[in-house]
A and B are shown apart, each in its own frame.
Chain A
């Protein structure tokens, strides 16, 4: 039964983490390069600009959900399962989210890289 709970936890973590990543990436894309912004307007202006992005708060909310879900999962399963399993699935979910919601150019090179990393992470978990 604990295995079932663990995988439900991993699924919840993956969906929450991917939603959080996409929303935070959306917020940071709207703001632009933080280094350039800091050079032009100063450090405090960077903080004010970041905190004015509503998508960021949505992203942080979903990341917090993923964090607590991950904590619960870590209390049931080893990091060697929770970490790579949720990470590997998050790579694919993020690529889909980035393509359809952020309209990133996820070309063949990035898909192959994503699949390589995903399979590599799964292999790393095997003893």
Chain B
């Protein structure tokens, strides 16, 4: 079973952080840009002139780089649930930093996500295929940190 080392957990953390920041910036920017008429969808390109949208795009580029790196050493069905902890972060920030009310239903959602992340993180990170290349064969030993 392949177990991730600290550097690779940092890559997963970068996926979480840049993804959350990027979405927040985009949301703020699009609220400033205003609703886009369904008959004039090309107006979405005008949003590229908004500072928050641009910051969101740069954050999502950083997200993309870390996401691609994560996918190079772990399965898609490992990376996606493992990085879902970002939703929990946003809820905890809104509760303890912004002092917003977090209902019991939301706490239940947080518990489910944490359990889901724990389940997938405790399992193997990668399905081994014979065609995965020499790099895998060199590092693949039982329980080895890669």
- Chain A interface residues (CB < 8 Å from chain B): 5, 21-22, 24-25, 28-37, 50, 63, 67-68, 70-72, 74-76, 78-79, 83-84, 87, 90-91, 94-95, 97-99, 102-107, 109-110, 112-117, 119-124, 126-127
Instruction: Please tell me which one of the listed residues A29, A74, A91, A103 contacts residue B81 in the complex, with CB atoms under 8 A apart.
Output: A91
Main secondary structure of the interface of A (DSSP, over half): helix
Q: Give the CA-CA distance A70 to B33 in the complex, in Å.
A: 14
Q: Given A32-B136, A36-B135, A121-B113, are A75 and B30 also a contact pair (CB < 8 Å)?
A: yes
The number of residues on chain B lying at the interface, defined by a beta carbon within 8 Å of a beta carbon of chain A, is 61
| Residues of chain B in range 76-93 having any CB-CB distance to chain A below 8 Å | 76-78, 80-81, 84, 87, 91
By a CB distance below 8 angstroms, the chain B residues around A105 are 75, 124, 127
Is B72 a contact of A33 with CB atoms below 8 Å?
yes
Task: Enumerate the 8 nearest inter-chain pairs by beta-carbon distance, A residue then B residue, closest first.
Answer: A123-B109, A116-B116, A120-B112, A120-B113, A79-B27, A117-B116, A113-B120, A124-B109
Q: A-B pairs with CB below 8 Å: how many?
A: 177
Contact (Cβ within 8 A) B129 A75: no
CB pair A32–B135 under 8 Å, yes or no, is yes
The residue that A74 contacts in the complex, of B27, B111, B123, B135, with Cβ under 8 A, is B27
Instruction: Enumerate 28 A-B pairs (CB-CB under 8 Å) in ascending A order.
Output: A5-B38, A22-B76, A25-B76, A30-B133, A33-B135, A33-B136, A35-B72, A36-B138, A37-B135, A67-B60, A70-B26, A71-B36, A72-B36, A75-B33, A79-B27, A87-B84, A90-B80, A98-B77, A109-B120, A110-B77, A110-B78, A115-B116, A116-B115, A119-B109, A120-B111, A121-B84, A123-B106, A127-B106
User: Which chain A residues lie closer than 8 Å to B81 at the CB level?
Assistant: 91, 110, 113-114, 117
For A50, give its contact among B33, B68, B122 (CB under 8 Å).
B68
Minimum Cβ distance to chain B for residue A85 (Å): 12
A75 partner, pick from B36, B73, B116, B134, beta carbons under 8 A: B36
Instruction: State which of B75, B106, B119 has its C-beta within 8 Å of the C-beta of A109.
Output: B119
Interfacial chain A residues near B139, Cβ < 8 Å: 33, 36
By a CB distance below 8 angstroms, the chain A residues around B69 are 34-35
Chain B residues near A29 (CB, 8 Å)? Answer: 71-72, 129, 132
User: Does B44 reach chain A (CB closer than 8 Å)?
Assistant: yes
B68 in contact with A32 (CB, 8 Å): no
In B22-72, the 8 Å CB interface with A consists of 23-24, 26-27, 30-31, 33-36, 38, 41, 44, 47, 53, 60, 64, 67-69, 71-72
